[in-house]
Amino acid sequence: MSNQSSIWAVASANKIAHCKNDPLYQCTIKDFGFELQNHGNSLWIVITNNSDVRIGFRTAFSSTDFTNVDFRADDDNTLKIKCSAVFGDYSIEVEWPNTEETILHYKTEFIPAEDIVVPFWPRDIVITGKNGSTSDTKGDVYISQTGTRSGLIYAGVTKPKGVSFLYFQNLTSLGAYNIDTETSAGNVVGGQWPELGLSLPTATEKPMKAQQIYTLSDAYVCLSNKTPIDQFEVAKGFMNSLAQLYLLLPRPETEYHNYLDILNSALHDLQTNKGCWSHRSGHPYLNAYVSDYETPPEIMVQLAVLLPVTEYIKWSERDCAIEQDIKQGLPAFYNDELKTVMRWLPTEEHMLDESEEQKVPMVMDSWYLHHPLLNLARLASAGDEEAKDLLLKSVDFAIKVAHHFKYEWPVFYRMDTLETVKEEAKPGEGGEKDVAGLYAHVMLQVWEITGDKKYFEEAEKAAQTMTRYGFDVFYQANNTMFAAKAMILLYRETKKDLYRDLSYLFLANVFKNVALWECTYGYGKHFPSFFELFPLSDAPYTAVYEEQEAYSGVHEYLSYANGLDILPSVNLLLAEFVRYMVNRAIYYYPPMLPKEMLSEEVKTGELDPNLWIALEDIHDGWEKSGSVGQEVYGAGLAFGIVPRQYIRLADAHFMIFVDYPIAEKKVSKNKVKFKFLGDGRLTCRLCIVHDGDNVLPAIKIESVIEGKKSEIKCINTTDKEFEYKVSGNTDVVISWS
């Protein structure tokens, strides 16, 4: 990356290298030296190692020189600094790295002397050489904040080599500033080499208020004396550093939500609300959005709901009328001439109004061909013969398309001619890069169903093309997660490290598109947002369908990976995503949200605030949500969560709820055993959910560590729930009499 320095960066770099004042404080920890430098109007932590690079992190900034700079070391690890400017007072706390992990943390609080607006704020990282010239260094920024995702920078110094760092701003801490100035935490962390980091959002109309306490920075920096040499090292370095920081972050509390009741409400509304359905060619079909009657039925919409509904039916042993309604309409999507299922119901393609690029007869969005095949394969694996027939009649066409495009799919193409309609999502960014991974997933499913090795070989061919894209392979969240799952399955079968590394590459792309912070401003105070996953790399909102499917993909990835040698950071981060997804997913349902935060204008269909059909879109706290529509194809949300997080026990008057993924479940008379996945340094929730109508038996819950059992005590009770806290990566035995 070429250097493009501002006048602020040039001046700061020179002072960092040639600071005239002695350091206020200095120490050496592992391979890094740390200095606290006072530049008059800025206080910097300057980090050096055995190369010539200097990385400065500005902890406080003033338009004039500070006065009364005082500091004290509370212990070997913590430094507290107080300083004043003409417009207010600063308090800074610095936590130096410990001997095990090289992680720096600094937090800056500010009390204005009077109401103050902020027309400009410089970024807080400058990278320079020993001579103080910003041109002395070069580097790569692998990840930086997009929209309201995590406020982070992951970067490596390439000249001179030997340093990389993950800088993470805890954007939750900026909440008071965002509330009073009515600003967003979106796109506040970024910059261009060598000037990076946080720049407070400008506030020229709403000021910071006099005598109020504001956190202006809450930064964590994970340092490494190694620069990644390829896309796989970038992926693994990012996930490992993120997991280390995650353990130090203040994380919001979660709570138990009764998804059993929520599912019943969602099922009732899905079955009975006429806005969810249309009748075409003699069959009922699900609309994509509530009351969207102008768009022809889509096979993806039908299967996106059918699959979790069938999972719930199997789990509950309960009939569900909509299962057959959806199944009976699926064969009509098959095109005998092309010999494949189509996106749009062929008899209704005349309804397409060509208002969007994909709303044209015969135009296919690349991932749309493979996603229905993936869900047909999941149904076929569960014994559905009609789904198997549709899958096997369509798979040759999918292979034909893959070979035509040489496993490098555009965004849109014509089904009849395979002519490219749109090559790239944006100029220079390529097409739908993760489709090769999604295609490999389908091929592996067909291999598992048929036993025909040619499909396994086809999956490997597709997987091996994924190395050509570099680190940025994310196109759509659920498909990227399915691609990661396909790669870990290939690794399990072949033990080829390439496939495990590719799975890490896909996972790292998922984690760079999450928001590890809690929005507390505007409408954000009405719903939890920690660990949101965004559907597209530039999407301005989170979306229920992509999140729900990525969540199910996480469970399946961990199932495939159980017993394999995978990075501990993968286990930690994936398990925590599940926990927070289960905590916040119910807020996609409009009845859980105040009506004033729901959009009055809806792009597609209608929005009914009392209907238990999830919104497609949840926005930044200052924006209303639901403007895209009420997403019928996201109606599988509760149906997907219940079978994965509740353990149903025959002839018992209770269920077991867990908010982590589990494995190795064994149910016997009056006993159930399973293993919590995740990391033992974090805890998860286990609940005994009583049906309320019968006497609850005596229940004992024990953890098993190295063959020794230890009873787990209840920490909270309500009328129907008994709650326990359990460490991740723990075997549990639950018995009752």
**Cβ contacts of 718 within 8 Å, gap of 6 or more:** none
* pLDDT attached to residue 150: 98
- Strand bridging mode 151-159 / 138-144: antiparallel
Reduced 3-state DSSP string for 639-662: HHHHHHHEECCCCCCEEEEECCCE
| 161 to 133, 139, 140: CA distances (angstroms) | 17, 9, 11
CA proximity to 638, closest of 258, 275, 254, 256: 258
| Distance spanning both ends of the chain, measured CA to CA | 66
Which residues of the chain are modeled with pLDDT < 50? Answer: 1
Pair 209, 21: CB distance under 8 Å:
no
d(CA 5, CA 10): 6
CATH, range 7-248: 2.70.98
Reduced 3-state DSSP string for 138-175: EEEEEEECCCCCCEEEEEEEEECEEEEEEEEECHHHHH
Q: Establish whether domains 7-248 and 648-736 are of one fold.
A: no
d(CA 565, CA 592): 41
**Segments in 364-519 forming alpha helices (H):** 366-381, 385-404, 435-450, 453-464, 477-494, 497-511
Sorted by where each begins, the domain ranges of the chain are: 7-248, 648-736
| 306 to 333, 354, 371, 621: CA distances (angstroms) | 15, 28, 13, 32
* pLDDT attached to residue 99: 65
Domain range 648-736, its CATH number among 1.10.3470, 3.40.50, 2.60.40, 3.10.450: 2.60.40
**Cβ contacts of 347 within 8 Å, gap of 6 or more:** 280, 281, 332
Q: At what angle do helices 637-645 and 544-561 cross, to 10 degrees?
A: 30
Give me 126's structure tokens.
């400058």
Rounded to two decimals, what is the model's pTM? 0.96
* pLDDT attached to residue 388: 97
Edge to edge, what strands does the sheet with 78-85 contain? 67-73, 78-85, 88-95, 103-112, 214-224, 161-169, 151-159, 138-144
Pair 724, 703: CB distance under 8 Å:
no
Q: What is the pLDDT of residues 524-552, one digit of tens each?
A: 999 999 999 999 999 999 999 999 999 99
Q: What is the pLDDT of residues 444-471, one digit of tens each?
A: 999 999 999 999 999 999 999 999 988 9
**Cβ contacts of 109 within 8 Å, gap of 6 or more:** 90, 91, 92, 213, 214, 215, 216
